[in-house]
Structure 1
Amino acid sequence: MSYPITGSCQCGGVKYRLLCAPEKVVACHCKACQKQSTSAFSITAFVSADAVEFEGEMQEWRRTADSGNINAARFCPTCGNRIYHYNPEQPDQIKLKPANLDDTSILQPTAHIWVSQKQSWFTIPDGVIVMDKQG
């Protein structure tokens, strides 16, 4: 894989360049991620904030996670696509929502978290880390 990789929201109003490989890629099966992704789980690529260059207007929405931390989400105000999440107390770490990358071949999660809330029909692949909660 060669970097940078480009990505964008559905309407193209927000574009970005991922400059290097993610630190890790995780699939989260919690109910909040199921609602956010409208799927069985969401995929998150953990990257340093300086490893991504963003272009375009984004809005923000926040919620308090079970841990008590704030989970802030940045998204396109036109099409609503989530671009990334972050904890305001750790602004140097971004939880990129990488399904909107132009090349999604990096989307091979090495861990599945919150499997205590996963859909019963989904089978987790062999060889990955599995956690009942966040860990």
Structure 2
Amino acid sequence: MSRYTGRCACGAVTATIIGEAATVRQCWCRQCQQVAAGSPTTNAIFATDAVALQGALANTTYIAASGNTLTQSFCGKCGTQVMAQSSARPQFRTIRLGFLDAPHDLAPEVAIWTEDAPAWAVIDPALERFPRQPPPPVTKA
């Protein structure tokens, strides 16, 4: 069983994750591009009960292009993006790869919302692609 740790830039928010990522996705939706300064967000999707967070998170909630309610969580002190959660998938937490301590063995497997990617985007041709919202991931044992 894998173990991951993470921390924000200032150290006020930390995490321990025990378990396997269901998948790792690059998301090119417009909301993610806004969060990631024009690039995609890169996210490891873990079972909710695998993720233990410490520290105070700030949140923002909105209706995503998928039609689901999306809650973005970040450190209220330094602004580091920590995770997202979709109302359609409460069994998962979508952890930002940049929040996780390096080194780790996680790398993108899928690119989603590719129809929203800018013309200059470079998407690895080896990644499975979805023009919009993909089906939910399956939890790995």
Q: TM-score, normalised by structure 1?
A: 0.89
Pair 1:85-2:84 in alignment: yes
Report the equivalent of 2:70.
71
Change (3 A) 1:121 1:88: closer
Equivalent residue for 1:102? 101
Change in Cα spacing, 1:38 to 1:57, as seen in structure 2 (3 Å) is same
1:89–1:114: structure 2 CA closer, same or farther, 3 Å change rule? Answer: closer
- Superposed CA RMSD: 1.7
**Residue aligning to 1:121:** 120
Q: 4+ residue runs of structure 1 moved beyond 4 angstroms?
A: none
Letter in 2 for 1:106: D
Partner of 1:20 in structure 2? 19
CA distance in 2, matches of 1:8, 1:42: 17
CA distance in 1, matches of 2:41, 2:50: 21
Which amino acid in the other structure matches residue 111 of structure 2?
H
Identify the residue that residue 43 of structure 1 maps to in structure 2. 42
User: Can you give the 5+ residue segments of structure 1 that lack an aligned partner in the other structure?
Assistant: none
Q: Which whole-Å CA distance do the structure 1 matches of 2:32 and 2:83 have between them?
A: 13
The 2-side partners of 1:126 and 1:105 are apart by 22
SS at match of 2:35: helix
Partner in structure 2 of residue 59 of structure 1: 58
Aligned to 2:56, the other structure's residue is in SS state: coil
SS at match of 1:60: strand
Aligned amino acid, residue 68 of structure 1: G
Pick closer, same or farther for the CA change 1:98–1:104 going to 2, 3 Å. farther
**Partners of 2:59 and 2:72 within 8 A in 1:** yes
1:51 Cα deviation (Å)?
Answer: 0.8
Distance change (3 Å), C-alpha of 1:17 and 1:39: farther
Count matched residues: 134
| Matched residue type, 2:19 | C
